[in-house]
Amino acid sequence: MIAALLAGLPPAASAQEVKSVLAGADPDIEAADGRYWIYPTGGDGLSAWSSPDKLKWSKSETLIRLKDIAWADDDRAPRHFLWAPDMIQANGGWYFYYSVGPQNPTPSRIGVATCKGPAGPCTDSGKPLVTGGNGFEAIDPAVFVDPKTKTPYLYAGGSAGATLRVWKLKPDMVSLDQEVKVDTPPNFTEGAFMHFRKGIYYLSYSAGKWDDASYQVHYAVALSPTGPWRYGGPLLVGDKRYRGPGHHSFFQDPADGNWYIAYHRWEGQVGNGPYQGSRRVAIQPIEYRPDGVIETIKMK
C-alpha cells in the first residue's frame, strides 16, 4: 500500500502568495481557545505568539525561562540555550517540550514542563527527559499522540549524528515508557514532526544545514507511527527569494478543516550562506492528492 502511494508520481506544485508573520525560528503551531499559537526558539526563555486569524500576531508572557529549569546547570557548561519547543494538549493538560543546549562541549538535553494552558505559565518537571551523548544529539522534540491507540510518542534527534530516535511516553506525558527502535529516513538532519491523515502517518523533517541554502523539508510515510518508512522526497525547498526553509510543524485548522505548514526561512539573503540575522516564520496551506501524496510546496 505504501509503495503504491508514492511510486511513479512526479512532484506537483502548490502556488500561492505567502508572507511571513513574525521573526523567529523552529515554529511549533497549535490551535486552541479560538486562537492560533506559535512557539518559536527562544534563547534564555520561551514564549508563545498568538493570533485570531493567522495574520496578526502578539507575543505572550514568557512561558518558561532557563532560570526556572533547576537542572540546566548540572552539566556545568558556561552558557545554556533553549530552542525548538513543542507544545501539545493531551490527557486534559498542556505539556511543553524543549531542547536545552549547548550541544558542545556538553551534550544537549530535552526537558518537559506542565502548563496551565497554551499561554502558560509552565513548570519544569524537575529533570531532563532525554540526554544526548555517544553520537546522539538530544534536540528538536516533537510529541505525537497516535489517534488509533492514544499512545504518546516522542520524536527527537539530529544535527551531529543526524539520528532519529523515538520513545513511547507514559500517560503522565513527562516520563519515558520505552524506546522504540526506528530507522532514520533518507536525508534526515533534524526537526522531525509527525502527523496523521486518512490512515497515513507522515514523518517530515529538515535536511541540510540550518544556516545555508541546503536546508529544506523532506518527508516519508508509513502505516504506523514508527515506520517502516517509505521515502517521499523533498517537500519544501528554497528558491531565489527565500532560502533555507525548514524546521516546521503541521496542523489542521479547525476553522476550515484544511492542513497548514508553519516553517522558518531566510529572507533578503543572497548566495548559498552561511546566513546571518533573523529567520522569519511563514504559514501556508498544503494540499494532498487523492492517494495521500503531499504536493510539493512552492514559495511564491
Q: What is the pLDDT of residues 223-240, one digit of tens each?
A: 999 999 999 999 999 999
Contact yes or no for 51/36 (Cβ under 8 A): yes
d(CA 290, CA 235): 17
d(CA 180, CA 13): 35
What letter represents residue 17's amino acid? Answer: E
User: Which of 109, 39, 60 is closest to 81 using CA atoms?
Assistant: 109
Domain boundaries along the sequence of the chain: 2-299
What CA–CA distances, in Å, run from 79 to 43, 50, 97, 175, 179?
Answer: 11, 29, 20, 26, 30
Mean pLDDT, residues 55-65 taken together: 95
Q: Can you give the pLDDT at residue 159?
A: 80
User: Which of 244, 280, 252, 248 is closest to 262 using CA atoms?
Assistant: 248
Q: Can you give the pLDDT at residue 10?
A: 46
Residue 170's pLDDT band (boundaries 50, 70, 90)?
very high
Which comes out higher in pLDDT, residue 215 or 2? Answer: 215
Beta bridge partners, 169, equal 176
Least confident of 12-21, 90-99, 151-160: 12-21
Q: Can you give the pLDDT at residue 216?
A: 98
Query: What's the gap between Cα 48 and its chain centre?
Result: 15
Contact yes or no for 248/259 (Cβ under 8 A): no
Beta bridge partners, 83, equal 99
15-26 residue pLDDT tens:
456 899 999 999
Q: Can you give the pLDDT at residue 17?
A: 65
Q: Can you give the pLDDT at residue 6?
A: 58
Residue 75, exposed/middle/buried by CB under 10 A (0-12, 13-18, 19+)? middle
Per-residue pLDDT for 13 more than 50? no
Per-residue pLDDT for 282 more than 80? yes
Average pLDDT, the chain: 94
Neighbours of 292 (CB within 10 A): 18
Q: Classify each residue of 171-196 as buried b or exposed e, where b means 16 or more C-beta atoms within 10 Å of its C-beta.
A: eebbeeeeebebebbebbbbbbbbbb
d(CA 118, CA 73): 27
Superfamily classification of domain 2-299: Glycosyl hydrolase domain; family 43 (2.115.10.20)
Torsion over CA: 31, 49, 38, 90 (sign)? negative
Cell of 196: 496523521
